[in-house]
Structure 1
Amino acid sequence: MKLVVLDSDTLGFETGAWEPIRRFGELKLYGHTPFDESIIGDRIADADFVFTNKVPLTSAAFAGAKNLRFVGVLATGYNIIDLEAARAASVTVCNVPGYGTTTTAQHAVSLILELCNQPGLHSDSVHAGDWVRSPHFCYWKQAPLELASLTVGIVGFGTIGRRVAAAMDVMGAKILASARTPRDTPGYADFEWADNKTIFAEADIVTLHCPQTPENTGFVNAELLATMKPSARLVNTARGGLVDEAALAQALNSGQIASAALDVVSQEPMAADNPLLGARNCI
């Protein structure tokens, strides 16, 4: 049996971490695989098992890998896999549902706090000598936002979304949440189920925690962004493909929304011409 790992470096594992699966067959590790269908096809051509974190497997990849029986997605989402092609080829696809749950929730909260308090902006300003030159004891570039006075919208109320919501509840924020199947309503001080349109229209901060599917790809588009408050912030630690990046860049640059903090983009590594690289108030 032949096993192929397409992007072992993405996970930051030492080579030895893969040793336990060598007993299942011949193991080939690729630290990095370019998003090139011909290269991907060559590397998995005779593989029985393939593991990938970010490298996509399209219908062409499945068509060329005649021995392929199993794909292990070393992440939570299936969006990099053509599931219809996998199903047609009788290939089993598995993910890691609990992967990075605590880390992602913590990171989302840190981005929300960065947008509210902007410690990075103030640190840069102080290091540049702005406070030294200021006559004031209290120095700030921008007044902080208190979560206790804000409404936070959680799009996708799974494990990660609920952890972020719990942190926001502790800080006194009102929580609006959407889910495909609302259930187990939490006992927060101020909580409501809402649809995505309501969340984007009413929330001061919208944070995305839903999986990416063909149905919701690019759903954060110009039309939806136009419904947000000019003071609103957007956080995305889910999937970059959920957001129309050109529309978001336009919304930021025009002042239609206040700021955004993104951990993910549609193409990773980020393309040099991604419009968000030059967008105003975008982390």
Structure 2
Amino acid sequence: MKAVILERYVMHEGDLDWSGVKALIPDTTSYVRTAYEEIAPRIGDAEVVFLNKCRMDEAILAQCPKLRWVGIIATGTDNLDLKACRRHGVPVANVPGYSTYSVAQMTFSLLLAIVQCAERYDRAVKDGLWQLDIPAGYGLLPQMELYGKTFGIYGYGSIGRQTARIARAFGMRVLVCTRTVRPEYAADGVEFVPFADLLKESDVLSLHCPATPQTRGLIGAEALAQMKPGAILLNTARGALVDETAVTAALRSGQLGFYGADAFATEPLPADSPLRKEPHALLTPHIAWTTKEALQNLMDITTRNLRTFLDGNGEHIVNR
């Protein structure tokens, strides 16, 4: 059996440990990165392929008749045509839950940086300034205590649920809007509300859902107008959830107090994106999921996905 790794690292060479995969399939070829036009030739007659952001569609599948299994080293499958894979009899296995704690942690890293401006104060102190001597150009905001504030969460999967635990630890009231309220959520100490109430009551609104036809553009001009004036919006999920033009307009009008984001509609964030110039936007380059612990989890689950496929079962198949 042959395997091909189309993208062997995520941030820098060596940050993913492929030894477990290669122990299972010794005949494994790996590439640093793979452009779309290189995908089919590189897969060739391999039965197994691993990818992250590479596109897998009907055109690719038609050129790879021996392909039997795709392992995506990520949770989201937006770049894969799952129906086409199913038509060709190719199961796709993803990696759910590997970065739950890291992404929830990043959500609050963004929020704390917004409400207490630690990195901006750090820059001012290193420039020789102190307290009342700091000019407006540093972009400082009035510091905000989170205790007693209302933290809204849209989407209550593993990351949303962990984020809720952190918010409650800060003494915040937690509101949740989710498609399915499960019995085990009863002990979480959160309130489940409709979307309109989530928008109206949240001091901080955090997005934790996948990008689907129902959620794309979820936060646009209409939703922003319903939020509390000056509220904080956080997006560590998917850039497609947010209308970035509308967010920029809301920041400039003051309707939205601050936007913290680790995901964007187009990545890398284009040079002409108006968000780049917004003093009330805190932006990170989609790296919440790249802690060393999360990456180890990623590879452990990826290897287990492959092992169970070879054993004839197959875990985490998303297109059965």
Per the normalisation by structure 1, the TM-score is 0.87
CA contact (8 A) 1:253 1:280 kept: no
Q: Residue 10 of structure 2 aligns with which residue? A: 10
Task: Identify which range, 101-110 or 45-54, moves more after superposition.
Answer: 45-54
Tell me the number of residue pairs that the alignment of Structure 1 and Structure 2 aligns: 276
Q: Residue 108 of structure 1 aligns with which residue? A: 107
Per the TM alignment, residue 151 of structure 1 is displaced from its structure 2 partner at its CA by: 0.7
Aligned partners of 1:110, 1:5: CA distance in 2, in Å?
33
Question: Which AA in structure 2 matches 1:40?
Answer: I
Q: Residue 51 of structure 1 aligns with which residue? A: 50
1:168 is the counterpart of 2:167: yes
Per the TM alignment, residue 251 of structure 1 is displaced from its structure 2 partner at its CA by: 2.1
Q: Residue 306 of structure 2 aligns with which residue? A: none
Per the TM alignment, residue 45 of structure 1 is displaced from its structure 2 partner at its CA by: 4.3
Question: Which AA in structure 2 matches 1:59?
Answer: E
CA contact (8 A) 1:176 1:199 kept: yes
Give SS of 2:176's match. strand
Distance 1:175 1:118, change over 3 A: same
1:31 is the counterpart of 2:3: no
The runs of at least 4 aligned residues of structure 1 exceeding 6 Å deviation read none
Question: Which AA in structure 1 matches 2:18?
Answer: W
Task: Identify which range, 100-109 or 269-278, moves more after superposition.
Answer: 269-278
Per the TM alignment, residue 169 of structure 1 is displaced from its structure 2 partner at its CA by: 0.8
Please provide the CA RMSD for this pair.
2.5
Give the number of the structure with larger relative contact order, counting CA–CA contacts within 8 Å between residues 6 or more apart: 2
Structure 1: segments with no counterpart, 5+ residues: none
Deviations 1:248-281, CA, capped at 9 Å, x for gaps: 2222233220111111122333332333222341
- 1:143-162 equivalent positions in 2, closer than 5 A: 143-162=142-161
Aligned partners of 1:42, 1:128: CA distance in 2, in Å?
54
Give SS of 2:130's match. helix
Deviations 1:196-224, CA, capped at 9 Å, x for gaps: 33212221111111122233222222222
Aligned partners of 1:176, 1:15: CA distance in 2, in Å?
37
Distance 1:16 1:53, change over 3 A: closer
Aligned partners of 1:203, 1:268: CA distance in 2, in Å?
28
Aligned partners of 2:154, 2:66: CA distance in 1, in Å?
39
CA contact (8 A) 1:169 1:188 kept: no
Per the TM alignment, residue 89 of structure 1 is displaced from its structure 2 partner at its CA by: 1.7
Deviations 1:220-259, CA, capped at 9 Å, x for gaps: 2222222222211111111222222222222223322011
Aligned partners of 1:272, 1:41: CA distance in 2, in Å?
31
Aligned partners of 1:15, 1:114: CA distance in 2, in Å?
27
1:258 is the counterpart of 2:257: yes
Give SS of 2:10's match. helix
Question: Which AA in structure 2 matches 1:86?
Answer: C
CA contact (8 A) 2:51 2:71 kept: yes
Distance 1:73 1:230, change over 3 A: same
Give SS of 1:246's match. helix
Distance 1:266 1:30, change over 3 A: farther
Distance 1:277 1:194, change over 3 A: same
Task: Identify which range, 91-100 or 58-67, moves more after superposition.
Answer: 58-67
Give SS of 1:180's match. coil
Structure 2: segments with no counterpart, 5+ residues: 283-320
Per the TM alignment, residue 132 of structure 1 is displaced from its structure 2 partner at its CA by: 7.5
Distance 1:197 1:14, change over 3 A: same
Distance 1:16 1:231, change over 3 A: closer
Per the TM alignment, residue 133 of structure 1 is displaced from its structure 2 partner at its CA by: 7.5
Give SS of 1:226's match. helix
Aligned partners of 1:27, 1:33: CA distance in 2, in Å?
15
Deviations 1:159-202, CA, capped at 9 Å, x for gaps: 2111111111121111111222112234456x310123321222
